[in-house]
């Protein structure tokens, strides 16, 4: 995802894990514990892209349904 500020495109961009139909951002993790940093990361992606919905998915859980967090901006 490119970083644009005041109509200037900067070389430093963000790397989104998955962008679905330019409307849903999916951030994939495989960690033992959730961290507020992961939530801040997906919120930043949502603000920069203009998307309203994001999913934070952690694959390091016994049941996948316990590892999905829906984030709405």
Integer angstrom CA distances of residue 43 from 19, 30, 61, 62, 63: 14, 19, 22, 26, 24
- Measured from the Cβ of residue 65, the count of other Cβ atoms closer than 10 Å reads 7
Beta bridge partners of 63: none
Instruction: State residue 30 phi and psi, 5-degree precision.
Output: -145, 75
d(CA 23, CA 16): 12
Tens of pLDDT, residue by residue, the chain (73 residues): 667 777 777 766 678 899 999 899 999 999 998 889 999 999 989 998 889 999 999 999 999 999 999 999 9
- Specify the pLDDT at position 62: 94
């Amino acid at each position: 995802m490119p970083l644009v500020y005041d109509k200037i495109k900067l070389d430093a961009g963000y790397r989104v894990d998955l962008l679905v139909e330019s409307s849903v951002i999916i951030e994939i993790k495989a960690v033992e514990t959730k961290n507020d940093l992961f939530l801040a990361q997906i919120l930043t992606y949502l603000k920069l892209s203009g998307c309203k919905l994001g999913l934070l998915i952690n694959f390091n859980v016994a049941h996948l349904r316990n590892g999905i967090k829906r984030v709405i901006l």
